[in-house]
Chains A and B, each alone.
Chain A
Amino acid sequence: MKTNENTPLTKHDLFRANWRWLWASQLSWNYEKMMAPGYFYTVLPFLRRFYPQDDELVEMMQMHNQFFNTNAFTGPFIIGMDLAIENRKGYAAKDTVAGIKTGLMGPLASVGDTIFGVIIPTIFGSIGAYMGLKGSPIGAILWLLVNLIIFVLRFAILPLGFYQGQKLLDSAEGKLNLVTDSAILLGLTVVGALIPTVITAHVPFVFQAGKVTLHLQTVLNQIMPSLVPALLVALVYWLLGKKHVTATKVILFVLVLGVVLSYCHILG
């Protein structure tokens, strides 16, 4: 009887898969199947090793060429699990692997998008932009170093999926949520500090009644420092909650608003 067991993948194999994913995951990203070419390219050499029979190979290639979309940072976890299963079970695991891919791409995308797409750019982008506005490159260089560290850490995610499998995701989910939650809190604190520091909105308007001149900006400062930036943020936040309001429309709105307010000498 023919056994489906293949020789176990080595650390070098896992690194190779990670390397292929790193470069190819999104290069042929398209509207039809999104990351499917990237996933297919990543597992291709392993498919050729696992399935010497042509009909099995074609079928498995087709399975790995189905719609796939997740976060590029956390996605290798799925590849790791996939390779572990296919390595052991071979063609028999076709449906299992297809299920794991579709089942995990969503949750891993949301964790990855939040941490790598929002929280890290928020924290280091805020610090870097704050320093950059003052003409200092230190914040930008700090962010660059952080990106390099993350780049190295990315290589650990695929083996994690490979060695731990499904079980780990279940037990780690609670803890992962807690970490994400705390990271969000840190992000919000930084954003709160951004509002008064990076938005430039000076009010040049001056009241004149006889001998009394009143600078509106001074009055506003007495109510609350950075009142205008805070109000602008509240306005745009409210606008974004409306239906049919996209980021692009809001950017155009703010662009025009600035020109109009400047023309009326309210901001300058």
Chain B
Amino acid sequence: MTTWWQIILLSALAFWMIIDQLTVCWISNPLCIGMISGLIMGNLQTGLIVGATLQLMVLGVSTYGGASMPDFLTGAIIGTVYAVGANKGTQFAIGLAVPVGLLMVQLDVLARFTNTIFQKRIDRFITQNKPQAAGRNAYLGLFTWGISRGLPVFVLLIVGNRMIKNVLATVPTWLTNGLKVSGGILPVVGIAILLRYLPTKKYFSYLLIGFIAAAYLKLPMLGVALLGLALALLNYQRKQTQSQTSNSHNTEYENEAGEYEN
């Protein structure tokens, strides 16, 4: 199903993507990872669809503040491989990619935990006044992070070659169909988390405008984004004039107060 060089490339991608996410942030989103996995597997379209669906699930989830989030980057790689190799449809593959992403959270926690070793070493080298040794430990985490993604993908793909076909053969139809439906409605989660994060109650009307533009007027997404940009610019200008007038009002009030005192 997957050749050895595909497995190596995908494992390297898994190693790099977490480093990318922690440093330069070029490709570390499920959409791009899905696209690249698709290219490696020789099926760009499938990779894009898997990546896009997973992307929609993590819209509102960010890793900031040290919290772990479902690892749908790894999910995108595994999902794409399943979708291309197993021939059971992309939505089914997404139904399998989601549990993979959820399980990967444990390894994220493990990596963050293991890095405490480097912290201890930095603490020690500083008290011993060994700046260079201390500095070195500040980037050794490269390997804990990279291995936390690269190794599981490698193992899953090696095992997968032999086992996926057997496992898939035993999955009952109701579950296959069910996972397809789940794959279709899972973007709900990302959207809802995002709405929880943003001040949705305050700006509900804009959510409604976006919905109407797409559901009734059938405006394409780029068009809606431009509409949103126009609304944002209007809001910016209005608030700016508001703050200016309130400023001048304040100074007038102070002047009046000053006159009373005199």
Contacts and interface: CB of A to CB of B under 8 A. Distances in A.
Given A136-B48, A189-B207, A193-B213, A125 B29 contact: yes
B42 interface: no
Interface stretch (B57-65, B149-157, B160-168): B57-65
Interface size, A (range): 35 or more
A92 interface: no
B185 A200 contact: yes
A177 to B, nearest CB: 9
B192 interface: yes
B253 interface: no
B209 interface: yes
Interface in A208-250: 224-226, 229-230, 232-233, 236-237, 239-241, 247-248, 250
Contacts of A248: 70, 102, 105
A30 B178 contact: no
A187 B51 CA distance: 20
B12 interface: no
Interface in B190-241: 191-200, 203, 206-216, 219-222, 224-225, 227-229, 231-233, 235-236, 239-240
Contact of A143 (B31, B91, B99): B31
A196 B27 CA distance: 27
Contacts of B177: 262, 268
A32 B49 CA distance: 39
B119 A254 contact: no
* Residue from B44, B142, B180, B232 with most neighbouring chain A CB atoms (10 Å): B232
B126 A65 contact: yes
Given A121-B59, A189-B209, A195-B211, A28 B115 contact: yes
B86 interface: no
Interface residues of B, number: 113
A175 B228 CA distance: 20
B191 A195 contact: yes
B119 A30 contact: yes
B69 interface: yes
A132 B180 contact: no
A40 B122 contact: yes
B1 interface: no
A118 B60 contact: yes
A132 B62 contact: no
A36 to B, nearest CB: 7
B127 interface: yes
B53 A129 contact: yes
Given A61-B126, A195-B211, 10 more contacts: A27-B140, A31-B113, A44-B138, A65-B123, A125-B55, A178-B243, A182-B235, A189-B228, A193-B221, A237-B200
27 contacts: A28-B137, A30-B119, A31-B66, A32-B116, A36-B122, A37-B137, A44-B135, A57-B129, A72-B22, A128-B52, A135-B49, A147-B25, A147-B26, A181-B235, A186-B225, A188-B207, A190-B221, A190-B228, A191-B195, A200-B185, A202-B184, A236-B188, A236-B189, A247-B70, A251-B189, A259-B178, A268-B177
